[in-house]
Amino acid sequence: MDNRGLAKAGIVVVLAALLAIPAALYVLPAVEAQTTYSAWLKIVTDSWDGAAYGDGFTTPVMPAGIDFPGRYNATNVCVELYRFLNPTSQSPAPLTAYDGPINAGSPNGTGFIKVSWPASWENVTIIVKAKSYQGECIGAGSPFSGIIVYWLTVNGTLSFGARFGIPTAPSGTTLTNATIGDDGISRTHPGPDFDFTIDAPFNAGPIDHMDMTPAMFAAAHADPRNASVAHAAYIFKLFHEHTWYDVNDVLTYAIIFIYDVDHTPANSPRSLIQAAITGPDGQSRYTREIYPKAAGLGPTGKFRDNRLVPIPLQSINLAARTPFEGGIPDPEVPAGNIQAPHLNATKRVWWETVLVNQTFYVGNEYNGTAGDEFDPDPATGKTRPLFGAYPADPSINPTITQGGITGVPAGPFSLALNHTVDLSKDGFQVSGQEWDTTPPVVEGVANFNNNTVFYARFCVQDADLKIQHPEIGDKMVGAEVTINLKKAPDRPYYLSHNIPPAGRRAEGPRQGADGLRDRVAGAGPLPSRGGGDNREG
């Protein structure tokens, strides 16, 4: 007997018990037929650390983490609901006919959202999509559009299972409980609901199928304290911005923008999906989407110095209408396409309003030489990835993105570039394309990015050379030197105050690296317009 049989048996028992009660002891009110079902979701990531409320509530929705990823709620997302129809003679292709969408809105600051759908729907699909930095839902209105960070189908059709790779249940009439993780590996679950309390990756998300009716799902998650936990596909990225002189010659208070390149027009504000600023150490700072807000504010905010930037990953191959499934091949594997959630994006860095770095994180594979994939960087205390996606010959092995970008030498964001990488996960250990597992867990992974900065020394002197000061001659000590940046010879747009007083040595946080002081003593850093395919290093 499947889950539906058990449910029906329970209803029969309840009805029998009611009929056994004398009529004088109860009055049944007139009840209108239920028109909708509702359920609660808690939208977090694979790094979420939670605990159950107890007293019959079993899902880990109560925060228990101590670091930013462990407490992060994915709130800058939008939620849509659909019902998929089995193929018919009128619509023979699977997953092309559907009802919806129902726009459920966005979760609150703690990641909770209540969704509702018609009781007549025999299946329901809940899709969570990333928003732009400004808050616009990317790809709203269609199930196969936008950056899909989480997908849950309840009681999916057989055609859905065939397309998404969800096994059929022993009954042969329904699909089993299954998950495709953020490492691209499929797993199955026993029981009518998921066990959200097991170790990461929790055997849930970012692609889930539940073998229960929509009514059963609504009953199981009718209370927010027992919300269904949606583990959306995100990584937490640390960026280290430095000049080409040295990794310790850092850029402070530079602005980092991350743009989507596949799902939005290049000139659209929707392309901006994330932003951060660098701190005194040149490393990214991110205090958005922190709850409560005070935890991200100084001087006492718990996460005021958080360096990790959350970046959404695309879980669905939109063209094929299938999940990314199969794992992340070792960079040494030729033509090893990434079959796990990933995102093609461009990262740009502005300093003193000048674009000083542009790095493309796009492609369908990682490339690297034989040996370890990660290397500790003693100068910064972080770990440097030793791989990218720079094809030896792009004309033979071009990069291809979902948005049709070809020939660009770069590699996408994925689990391999997370701040903490567990190389023992199944997605890194696919037979024939295993990653080096020494050590199996790599921590403190940072992307090191060169920025185009040069140093200049200015000597300011009195125009009247005949009058000399007895000690300093004609030099003007203490005069401020400013640089007027221009777009064209007659179009100044920014007055830089980044140069120290004349006659003094250039010091301070933007100078930084002690090893450079002898070479550039007395000089000040100036931005130089960058761009192009700046490689990490």
Span 237-259, pLDDT tens digits:
999 998 888 888 899 999 999 99
Residues 275-299 have a mean pLDDT of 93
What is the model's pLDDT at position 193?
61
CB-count exposure of residue 184 (10 Å: 0-12, 13-18, 19+): buried
Inter-residue contact 165 to 324 (CB < 8 Å): no
Inter-residue contact 248 to 379 (CB < 8 Å): yes
If pLDDT is split at 50, 70 and 90, which confidence band does 505 have?
very low
If pLDDT is split at 50, 70 and 90, which confidence band does 488 have?
low
If pLDDT is split at 50, 70 and 90, which confidence band does 473 have?
confident
What is the model's pLDDT at position 515?
41
Does position 294 have pLDDT exceeding 80, yes or no? Answer: yes
Residues 199-215 have a mean pLDDT of 79
Beta strands in 220-296 (DSSP E): 228-232, 234-243, 246-250, 255-260, 272-278, 284-285
Q: Which range, of 37-51, 77-91, 279-293, 514-528, averages the lowest pLDDT?
A: 514-528
Q: Which range, of 53-62, 337-346, 438-447, 455-464, averages the lowest pLDDT?
A: 455-464
Does position 196 have pLDDT exceeding 70, yes or no? Answer: no
| Ramachandran quadrant class, 486 (left: phi over 0; alpha: psi -120 to 50; beta: rest) | beta
What is the model's pLDDT at position 417?
93
| Percentage with pLDDT > 90 across the chain | 54
Does position 49 have pLDDT exceeding 90, yes or no? Answer: yes
Inter-residue contact 511 to 338 (CB < 8 Å): no
What is the model's pLDDT at position 172?
87
Q: Average pLDDT over the chain, rounded to whole?
A: 81
Span 149-164, pLDDT tens digits:
999 999 999 999 999 9
Residue 208: which H helix or E strand, with range? strand 207-210
Distances (CA, A) of 40 to 35, 60, 352: 17, 13, 45
Does position 501 have pLDDT exceeding 70, yes or no? Answer: no
DSSP 304: T
Inter-residue contact 455 to 526 (CB < 8 Å): yes
What is the model's pLDDT at position 513?
41
Q: SS3 for 83-125, per residue? A: EECCCCCCCCCCCCCEEEEEEEECCCCCCEEEEEEECCCCCEE
What is the model's pLDDT at position 150?
98
Inter-residue contact 477 to 503 (CB < 8 Å): yes
If pLDDT is split at 50, 70 and 90, which confidence band does 10 have?
very low
Q: Which range, of 9-23, 111-125, 189-203, averages the lowest pLDDT?
A: 9-23
CB-count exposure of residue 450 (10 Å: 0-12, 13-18, 19+): buried
What is the model's pLDDT at position 11?
37
**Phi, psi angles (nearest 5°) of residue 506:** -75, 110
Residues 84-94 have a mean pLDDT of 90
SS3 helix, strand, coil % of the chain, rounded to 5?
Answer: 10, 35, 55
Tell the residue number behind the tokens 């959200």, with chain if given. 196
Q: Which range, of 33-42, 264-273, 401-410, averages the lowest pLDDT?
A: 401-410
**Phi, psi angles (nearest 5°) of residue 495:** -100, 110
| End-to-end CA gap in the chain | 60
CA distance linking residue 186 with residue 205, whole number of Å = 10
Cα–Cα–Cα angle for 301, 303, 304, rounded to 5 degrees? 60
**Which of 68-72, 448-452, 462-466 ranks highest by mean pLDDT?**
68-72
Tokens of 480: 């401020």
DSSP 29: P
| Percentage with pLDDT > 70 across the chain | 78
CA distance linking residue 52 with residue 223, whole number of Å = 13
CB-count exposure of residue 56 (10 Å: 0-12, 13-18, 19+): exposed
CA distance linking residue 84 with residue 159, whole number of Å = 9
Residues 6+ apart with CB under 8 A from 81: 100, 101, 102, 104, 115, 116, 117, 124, 125, 126, 127
Which string of DSSP letters, residue by residue, matches 426-484? GGG--TTSPPP-SSSEE-SBEEEEEE-EEEE----B-S-TTS-BTTTBTB-TT----EE
CA distance linking residue 80 with residue 140, whole number of Å = 8
Inter-residue contact 105 to 34 (CB < 8 Å): no
Inter-residue contact 236 to 419 (CB < 8 Å): yes
Q: Which range, of 25-39, 44-58, 179-193, 209-223, averages the lowest pLDDT?
A: 25-39
Sign of CA dihedral 77, 339, 236, 452: negative
Measure CA 128 to chain center: 13
Distances (CA, A) of 352 to 245, 453, 508: 18, 11, 16
